[in-house]
Amino acid sequence: NVLPPRRQADELLNAYWRYINPVDCFLDKKRFCRLYEALFAGGDLGADEHTFICTLNVVFAFATQSHESKEASERDAVANTYFLRAWNLLSPETILWEPPSLQVVECLLLMSRYLQCTNNSHQTWMAVGLAIRIAQSLRIHLPKTSDSGVSDDQAHWQHHLWNCCVYAD
């Protein structure tokens, strides 16, 4: 995977948190930032590495679009490169064989929002549909029970993600 230099990556990530995340809060920021730091430190990302790299590329695609100092055609070309890299990493064929996770739901919601901004309606709804089905398989649409073994913070995030799925649909 090709990532931009750390300084450029930091600028893109800061632009994402500043301009995109307040409107479309699909990512667990604390978890995402921990994985981001581990990635650039050469640390182990664990089982989430593949999905994280995919999500990071979508974040970079969004952030690239927010750089109004560059020509629109240049922004579109660079953002599209990041997005296609992400799409190739998390293709529907890959998703079918991966265990379901909240991180995949986050990534698919982010992808669907990016696709919506590019007027790719069919792909938008396919990504939303996948996010919803995976969220349902994780049972995040159901109320938290005392024996679920999920912390209050995690239950709150799951509820938030489910609401994002419903809203996106």
107 and 62 Cβ atoms separated by less than 8 Å: no
pLDDT value at position 146? Answer: 67
Which residues have C-beta within 8 Å of that of residue 151, sequence separation ≥ 6? none
How far is it, in rounded angstroms, from Cα 13 to Cα 60? Answer: 7
Q: Residue length, the chain?
A: 169
Give pLDDT tens digits along the chain (169 positions): 578 999 999 999 999 999 999 998 899 999 999 999 999 998 888 877 889 999 999 999 999 998 777 888 889 999 999 999 999 988 777 777 888 999 999 999 999 999 998 888 899 999 999 999 999 999 999 887 767 777 888 888 899 999 999 999 8
- Residue 66: phi and psi, rounded to 5, are -85, -10
- Residue 81: phi and psi, rounded to 5, are -60, -45
Q: Say whether 86 sits in a helix, a strand or coil.
A: helix
Which residues have C-beta within 8 Å of that of residue 135, sequence separation ≥ 6? 105, 141, 161, 162, 165
Tokens 């649409």 identify what position? 141
How far is it, in rounded angstroms, from Cα 112 to Cα 157? Answer: 19
pLDDT value at position 27? Answer: 93
